[in-house]
Amino acid sequence: MVKQQVAAQIKVCDLSRFAVSVHPSDHTSWQSAADHITGEAVKPLREELKRALKRPGNTPDDIDAINDEFQMKIEKKQADVTHAPMEFHMDLKTTYNFL
């Protein structure tokens, strides 16, 4: 009886299920943001690949070797970006009315 009276007088809210979701503001999804970051990281390698392929005197075997070399470099850079820890900082302010 006393517990019911106290519960009726004191407003208590269980915040154990309180949750916050974070979404990228400049992209439609986290995958889109990751794709953008990866694309920016490999962009210089792709430009270097284009220059290497335009060198005069490249034989078909040279072109295959250049493509294979740069494909390995691009895959390594993509893996490096994928596994690099990212940080974000935020201020979270909540207001709760206990009455």
Nearest Cα to 23, choosing from 13, 33, 15, 35? 33
Question: How many domains in the chain?
Answer: 1
Q: What is the pTM of this model?
A: 0.64
Rounded-to-integer distance, Cα 19 and Cα 94, Å: 12
**pLDDT tier, 96 (very low <50, low <70, confident <90, very high otherwise):** confident
Mean per-residue pLDDT of the chain: 87
Check if the beta carbon of residue 58 is closer than 8 Å to that of residue 68.
Answer: no
Angle at 54 between CA 43 and CA 69, to 5 degrees: 55
Q: Which domain holds residue 58?
A: 30-85
Three-state secondary-structure class, residue 7: helix
**In a domain? residue 74:** yes
Does 44 map to a domain?
A: yes
- Asked whether residue 91 is assigned to any structural domain, the reply reads no
pLDDT of residue 88: 80
